[in-house]
A = this chain, B = another copy of it.
Amino acid sequence: MSDRPLSDVRAILFDTFGTVVDWRGSLIGELSAWGAARGITADWAGLIDAWRGAYAPSMDRVRRGELPWTILDDLHRATLERLVIQFGITGLGEAELDWINRGWHRLKPWSDSVAGLTRLKQHFIIAPLSNGNVSLLLNMAKAAGIPWDMICATELFGHYKPDPETYLGAAKLLGLAPQQVMMAAAHNGDLAAARACGLRTAFFARPTEYGPHQVRDFVADAPWDVIAADIEDLATRLGC
C-alpha cells in the first residue's frame, strides 16, 4: 500500500458494467419488452446470463493471442449469434441483431451513479476504465447522462482488464502517477489488479448485479483505501 495520502488522488477511474450501470436488469428489461412487442417468446434472462457468462472467456481468447485485438462490441456480437441459435430464437435479421447487440450501449445506471459522479466531478477527473469499447461507453454516457470527463476504454491500450497495461496506461494518459489515481469498482478482483499497479482503491458492493446468480463481491475482501455503500457515499467519504 502507498504511504502517500489519499489527498494526492486527482482522478477516479470507474469500472462500469455492474459498478456504474445495471447491465443485467437493463438488458433483461429491454429485451423482454422488445420480445413481447414482437410476439417473440424466449428465455431472455437465460440468454443475458449466458451472454455475460461468455464475457470473460471471450476476452481471454484475445489475451492468449487466439484472437487479434477485438473490441467488446465484436466479441459480444459473435457470442450473440451463437446464443440466439442455442435459445431457439429465429427470424432475426441484421438490423435486429445489431439493435440487440447495442443494448450494451444503452445500459441504465444504478440510482446513485449519476448523482454521485456529478459530485465527484467537481473535485476529481472522473472516467470509466472499462473493457467496453470507446463508442459503447460514450453512447452509454450520452444516453444516460453520465458526466465523464474522458473515456478511458481499455481499447485505448489494446489490452483487457485486469492486464496491468490498462491501469498503468490510464495513469500515463492522465499525466499522473499511479498513486494519484483511484480505481473504483464493485469487484474485488479489479481492485486487486489496480492495487498491484500502485493505484488507490475504492469498493462498494452491487449485491444484485448478477441477480439470483451472484456468488461473490458481496463485501470488500481486502482493506481497500475506501469502502463505501455506493457512489454517493464514496463522494461523501472523499469530501465532495
Q: List chain A positions with a Cβ less than 8 A from chain B.
A: 73, 125, 133-136, 138-139, 141-142, 148-151, 155-156, 173-176
Contact = CB atoms under 8 A, between A and B. Distances in A.
Nearest to A150: B151
A125 B136 CA distance: 13
Contacts of A134: 150, 173-175
A73 B176 CA distance: 13
Contacts of A136: 175
Main secondary structure of the interface of A (DSSP, over half): helix
A175 B135 contact: yes
Contacts of A142: 125, 149
A73 B175 contact: yes
A173 B155 contact: yes
Contacts of A173: 134-135, 155
Contacts of A138: 125, 149-150, 174
Given A174-B134, A174-B135, A175-B134, A149 B141 contact: yes
A86 to B, nearest CB: 27
A138 B73 CA distance: 26
A144 B136 CA distance: 27
Contacts of A135: 173-176
Nearest to A151: B150
Contacts of A125: 138, 142
Nearest to A11: B138
Nearest to A121: B142
A9 to B, nearest CB: 14
Most chain B CB within 10 A, of A150, A151, A173, is at A150
Nearest to A136: B175
Contacts of A73: 175
Nearest to A147: B147
Contact of A156 (B141, B156, B176): B156
Given A125-B138, A151-B151, A155-B173, 19 more contacts: A73-B175, A125-B142, A133-B175, A134-B150, A134-B173, A134-B174, A134-B175, A135-B174, A135-B175, A135-B176, A136-B175, A138-B149, A138-B150, A138-B174, A141-B149, A148-B150, A150-B150, A150-B151, A156-B156
A134 B176 CA distance: 11
